[in-house]
Structure 1
Amino acid sequence: MSIDPTNNKVRLRPTARAGVAFLLSVPLAGCALLGGGERPMSAEANAQEQAQVCAQLPEAAASPATATALLKGEVVPVNPLSQNSPLRDWEHLSFFPFKLPTQYSVMQCGADNKRQLVRIDARSSASSMIRPLNLQAGPDSRIRWKWWIAKPNTKAKTLDRSLEDSPIRVVLAFEGDRSRLSEQDQQFLQRMDMLTRKPAPYATLMYSLGAGVAQYDVITSAHTHTVKIKAVQTQQDRNGLGQWRLFDRNIEEDFVKAFGEKPGRLLSVAIMGDADNTKASSRAYITDLELIGLKE
């Protein structure tokens, strides 16, 4: 993997001003019916939401031409999209074979289609898009992104194991010595190894929309101490929903606060939306995702 040697920046960056939206038909997976018996959006309401999301999208900061994108934001032709999608370097991960997968779609904005977003539709579902990496975070390493919560999951409760869902998460997975973990956590990771057919990370830090918790609270997963959830935005903050929110987090600081030790190598970054516990639905958008100051 190549990193810009001047600032070690990795980013997802659209390149032009937003305008009218175009939702491309490139879902990886999804389900036909909304959770909880809800009716799907009408075509008119969908078009209005997309137009609003694009019209309010802030300009992206300048980025060196040599920067390597996590989600490539360059202009792509509509056909064949599969070969030029900004998600082409990502992997779709379903956690359990009996769970419905969340739908991830590429949305292009503007008459010239030069800005790209990823739309996440969770409908009684749970899965993620993962970008494999192998980078080392340091004291000044950061992760930045923008997201828009279009439809929060009103049934979600972060502290309730049976209702812990979020319309969007940015998930960082780290390397470490699993033998240092408790027997219970080691067994949990072994089960995840078998279910996903991939090695489970030593530690996972999730930036999430919190429900029923305070902003910036760090919550230990009810399933394992190896997963920590940081509520960078809360569902109670109604003024923060339905608009673009910008985030800029220091990776090492957040990891130390969550786990009490410095992070190992960053193995992947994922985006995720889930509504499997609540059997409900949610919708969100994300763009301008970038890593800064990490080293190979």
Structure 2
Amino acid sequence: MIVALGIASPLWACENPIPPFSGLDSLSDSSGWEALEFPKIDRLSEYQLVLEDGNRVVQATTSGSASGLITRLDIQPGDSLILRWRWKVSNVFEGGNAKAKSGDDYPARIYVAFEFEEDKAGFFERAKRSAVEVLFGETLPGNALNYIWANRLPVDEVVPNPYTDQTMMVAVNSGADQVGEWVTVERDIVADYRQAFGEAPPPLVGIAIMSDSDNTGESAMAWYGDIQLEGCE
């Protein structure tokens, strides 16, 4: 499929634009979250609100499946944009491998999508995107960062997704050492984008959670707590 580190606190912050799971009664479209599904994938991961240790979180279940939940955004990054979340997984995948299409599955990931920059794309890329947008009736994002609970990739390593170099995979947790534990992660999206793509990021258009196992056929559960974004203009 294509989709705990210490970071200094930002000097300024805005109201968090990401709907908190802890304040939701359901995951309907009116919650601010909607289904993220992919062409040619019929078996979907399951997402539901549950109480975990007294907190309302999203529980994801994947078994040979792939899909996510996305919240749409329109945010122009400044010099720093801090993304913070906490998550927990039941296990990692034995066949998982971020560098191979056959292993491109993760028990948990945060998918950060950016606006497509048409002026930087070649003719064939623009034509291909236009055809897909007509077919599916939706404007496609451009580059993306995927923060993953990696299966074997070393923490902090950044690699291109095996399906497309428009998506860069960032290992923020890896392996089974912290399986079954809540882990808090903080990342500076602007710094990570510059490292991954060598330039400043365009507008941020969406953030998704995703647990997938369509390539390996394995199974896992994950729990996602509230996701916070600080530093937006």
* TM norm. shorter chain > 0.5: yes
Q: Indicate the SS of the match to 2:22.
A: coil
Q: What is the one-letter code of the residue matched to 2:232? A: L
Gaps of 5+ in 1: 1-5, 11-67
Q: CA RMSD in A?
A: 2.4
Q: 1:256 aligns with which of 191, 194, 217?
A: 194
Give matches, 1:96-111, under 5 Å: 96-109=39-52
CA contact (8 A) 2:19 2:31 kept: no
Q: What is the one-letter code of the residue matched to 1:108? A: L
Q: 1:122 aligns with which of 57, 62, 66?
A: 62
Matched, 1:9 2:2: no
Higher relative contact order (CA 8 A, sep 6+): 2
Matched, 1:288 2:230: no
Take 2:89 and 2:131, find their aligned partners in 1: how far apart are those partners? 32
Take 1:188 and 1:242, find their aligned partners in 2: how far apart are those partners? 42
**When the two structures are superposed, what TM-score results if normalisation uses the length of structure 2?**
0.85
Instruction: Evaluate the alpha carbon distance shift between residue 221 and residue 91 of structure 1 in structure 2; reply closer, same or farther with a 3 A threshold.
Output: same
CA contact (8 A) 2:60 2:221 kept: yes
Take 1:95 and 1:268, find their aligned partners in 2: how far apart are those partners? 15
Q: Which has the larger radius of gyration?
A: 1
Deviation at 1:291, TM superposition (A): 0.3
Q: 1:159 aligns with which of 73, 79, 99?
A: 99
CA contact (8 A) 1:185 1:224 kept: no
Residue-by-residue CA offset, 1:159-196 (whole Å, 9 max, x unaligned): 11122100111111111423423567556645653565
Residue-by-residue CA offset, 1:27-49 (whole Å, 9 max, x unaligned): xxxxxxxxxxxxxxxxxxxxxxx
Take 1:164 and 1:199, find their aligned partners in 2: how far apart are those partners? 24
Give matches, 1:190-209, under 5 Å: 190=130, 193=133, 196-209=136-149
Q: Indicate the SS of the match to 2:67.
A: strand
Take 1:176 and 1:75, find their aligned partners in 2: how far apart are those partners? 31
Take 1:284 and 1:116, find their aligned partners in 2: how far apart are those partners? 14
Task: Give 1:266's aligned residue.
Answer: 204
Stretch deviating more after TM superposition (276-285 or 87-96): 87-96
Deviation at 1:156, TM superposition (A): 1.1
Take 2:201 and 2:214, find their aligned partners in 1: how far apart are those partners? 30
Give matches, 1:1-296, under 5 Å: 7-10=13-16, 68-74=17-23, 76=25, 81=26, 88-109=31-52, 115-182=55-122, 186=126, 189-190=129-130, 193=133, 196-235=136-175, 238-295=176-233
Equivalenced residues, count:
222
